[in-house]
Amino acid sequence: MLSPRQQHCLKAIGIRRWVERASVTESAAIAPAPLTTESPAIVTASPAIEEPALPPATLDISLDSWDAVNHSIQRCEACQLTSNCTQKVPGVGDQKSDLMIIGEGPGHDEDIKGEPFVGRSGQLLDKMLAAIGLSRSQVFITNIVKCRPPNNRDPHVDEVQACNRFLRAQIDLIKPKVILSSGRISAHSLLNTTQPVGRLIETMHQLPDSQIPVKVTYHPAYLLRNPSAKAIAWQDLKTLYRILHS
């Protein structure tokens, strides 16, 4: 049985628990399974896309500290996104967290506030974290690109690659126990693949050239548009919980 706190969190996320009138036992059989500490198997994704070379002008920047990373992000002009955004969105949260959440790119609200995952998507993400006993301040949250793409379009390959050095530096500094990849752009960029998110969600992955496990899930914005997918996201959260407590 779920604890009262877990039931409350499921309700807040928007997952309805159906109960048959004839049998309480039957309804319990379809309820989400309780959290356990058993770690899932990890599948290492094989690289499928050849990454383009970094622009030569960006190769001489040392990114061995948070001050260096944040300063470099703020003065970066490596792609066209920097000329269209209101401000850069480096990331926010605990720089020593076991959990790093990586989304796709800043939207309108993020561009105004300078913080990732705000607005309705951020509110849902906060509820999802609360469902496994975490708050926003206990994790580190960032995006694949640090500037808002015009009209919230998908970032281009060169834009993703221009920001990749910043993201990799953040990962190296945090050394997270696990990465939660939120959305298609994030998953494709981190795992160097083109497989659909629905397929990637089915198993655990490993960040290329590292030992860090990566759990792929749907982006909160997708869950807001497709509430039926929240049940899948709940399973992803339980997997995340098991890894963090293993």
Residue 176 pLDDT grade (very low, low, confident, very high; cuts 50, 70, 90) = very high
Percent of the chain beyond pLDDT 70? 76
What is the residue-averaged pLDDT of the chain?
85
Q: Which residue has the tokens 């790119």?
A: 105
Residue-wise pLDDT tens digits, 97-131:
999 999 999 999 999 999 999 989 999 999 999 99
Q: What's residue 102's pLDDT?
A: 98
Structure tokens at 51: 């990454």
Q: Could you tell me which residue, 17 or 204, shows the higher pLDDT?
A: 204
All structural domains of the chain:
39-244 (3.40.470.10)
Q: What's residue 62's pLDDT?
A: 84
Amino acid in position 218:
Y
Q: Give the residue among 224, 118, 239, 127 at the shortest CA–CA distance from 181.
A: 239
Mean pLDDT for 150-173 is: 96
Q: What's residue 43's pLDDT?
A: 56
Overall pTM > 0.85: no
Q: What's residue 36's pLDDT?
A: 53
Q: Give the residue among 14, 245, 232, 5 at the shortest CA–CA distance from 123.
A: 14
Q: What's the CA angle centered on 80, arms 125 and 58, to 5 degrees?
A: 90
Residue-wise pLDDT tens digits, 6-56:
676 666 677 766 555 554 444 444 444 555 555 555 555 545 544 444 444
DSSP string, the chain: ---HHHHHHHHHHT------SS-HHHHHHHSPPPP--PPPPB-PPPP-SPPPPPPGGGTT----SHHHHHHHHHH--SSGGGGT-SS----EE-TT-SEEEEES---HHHHHHT-SS-HHHHHHHHHHHHTTT--GGGSEEEESSSSPPGGGPPPPHHHHHHHHHHHHHHHHHH--SEEEEESHHHHHHHHT----HHHHTTSBEE-TTS--EEEEE--HHHHHH-GGGHHHHHHHHHHHHHHHT-
Q: Does residue 204 carry a pLDDT above 90?
A: yes
Mean pLDDT for 129-156 is: 96
Q: Which residue has the tokens 């379009």?
A: 153
Q: What's residue 13's pLDDT?
A: 73
150 CB-near residues (< 8 Å, 6+ apart) = 84
Mean pLDDT for 193-205 is: 96
196-227 in b/e burial notation, b at 16+ Cβ within 10 A?
ebeebbeebbbbbeeebbbbbbbbbbbbeeee
Cα dist from 142 to 15, 108, 165, whole Å = 26, 15, 13
